[in-house]
Structure 1
Amino acid sequence: MTPDDLAALHGRCFAAHPRPWTAAEFQALLAGPPNFLLTRPQAFLLGRAIADEAELLTLAVAPEARRQGLASALLAEFAATSRAHGAREAFLEVAADNAAAMALYAGAGWETLGKRRNYYAPGLDAVLMRRTL
C-alpha cells in the first residue's frame, strides 16, 4: 500500500476523532526505521518497536471488510513482528467511544492501563492499553 492508499483507507475508518492521517504523515512514519507496516487486502496496521517496547500506532480495516478476522490476524502479526524486533510489551491508545476496537484488543490479550482525558477532543478520552508479548 502506498501512503496515498493508507491515507484513503484511514480516512474511511476515522472520520473525525481521531482525525484521519494524511499521505504525508504516513510517508514520514514509513521513513522511520523503528516503524513497520503490516497489510492485508482492505486493512493495515502501523506499528513501531524500540528497544523492548512496541507501540501500535494505528489499525484500519475497511468498513465492508470488518468482522472477517483481518484485524485479529494483523494483531497476531504485530505481536510476532514486535517480538522479532526485541519487544517484550506493547502499548496503544484507543478512543474511549470505540467499543468495538476495545473489545477486539481485550480479546487479543490487551489490558486497560488508564485514560488520557480529552486526548482526542473535548470530552473524548484515550484509553491506554498494554499487552505482554
Structure 2
Amino acid sequence: MAWQLRSATPDDLDAIMAIEHAVFPSDAWSRESMLAELSNRHTHYLVAFDLATPDEFVAYAGLLAPRGATQADIQSVAVVETARRRGLARTLVQTLIAEARDRGAREVFLEVRVDNPNAQSLYDSLGFERIAVRKGYYQPDNVDGAVMRLEIPEPKTRPAVGQ
C-alpha cells in the first residue's frame, strides 16, 4: 500500500469521527470536541489514505502545538484495524514530531492507555519515556494513562552525495 498523508480540515469531521468510534468505542471524543480541534489554529491534524482510495481515510492523528511554545502534545493517533502493523502509526507520529519541531517545540508529550502495549511499544521505539501515570484517566473504562515525553532530537542531515 502507498499511504498518503494530508492536513485534515473541518470538512473531514465525519470520516475522522467514524475512525474515532471504530478505534475508541468506549471513550471516543465528541463531535464538538473534535470539530474544535480541527478548527483550532494551534493544532495540526493529519488524515491518511491509500492512494487507490483517496476518499477512504484509514487513520488520523493530531497535535496541539502553539507556534513558539516549547512543548507540544500529541492529542490522538488512530489507525483502523485493517491498516495496522504496516508502519502507518509510526509515520503519523514522526510527522507530528517534525511539525512540533517546526513550530518551535523542544518536547512532545502524550498519554497512552496502560492496557495498549502496541502503542506503548511504538512510543518507546521512538524515544518517548514514561514520566507519570494518570490514574483512571480513560473513562468510562477507568484505565490509567501513562504520560510519556520525548525531547525532540535535532534533525539529522548529511552532505549531498557528489558535491
Q: State TM-score, norm by structure 2.
A: 0.76
Of 61, 72, 91, 1:45 maps to 61
Give the ranges of 4+ consecutive aligned residues of structure 1 lying more than 6 Å apart after TM superposition: none
- C-alpha distance in 1 between matches for 2:93 and 2:36: 22
- C-alpha distance in 2 between matches for 1:124 and 1:62: 21
Residue 82 of structure 1 is matched in structure 2 by: 100
Q: Quote the sequence identity (%).
A: 33
- C-alpha distance in 2 between matches for 1:53 and 1:86: 8
Q: Which runs of 5+ in 2 are unaligned?
A: 1-7, 50-57, 153-163
**Residues 78-109 of structure 1, C-alpha deviations (whole Å, 9 max, x = no match):** 11100000000000011111111111111111
Question: Is residue 2:141 matched to residue 1:131?
Answer: no
Larger radius of gyration: 2
Residue 4 of structure 2 is matched in structure 1 by: none
Question: Is residue 2:116 matched to residue 1:108?
Answer: no
- Which shows bigger deviation, 83-92 or 44-53? 44-53
Root mean square deviation of aligned Cα: 1.3
**Residues 19-63 of structure 1, C-alpha deviations (whole Å, 9 max, x = no match):** 112332211111111101122111111111131111000000010
Q: Which runs of 5+ in 1 are unaligned?
A: none
- C-alpha distance in 2 between matches for 1:5 and 1:22: 13
Of 19, 36, 39, 1:31 maps to 39
Asked whether the equivalents of residues 6 and 23 of structure 1 are also in contact (C-alpha less than 8 Å), the reply is no
Q: State TM-score, norm by structure 1.
A: 0.93
Measure how far apart 1:110 and its partner are: 0.7
SS of the aligned residue for 1:9 comes to helix
What amino acid is aligned across from residue 5 of structure 1 in structure 2? A
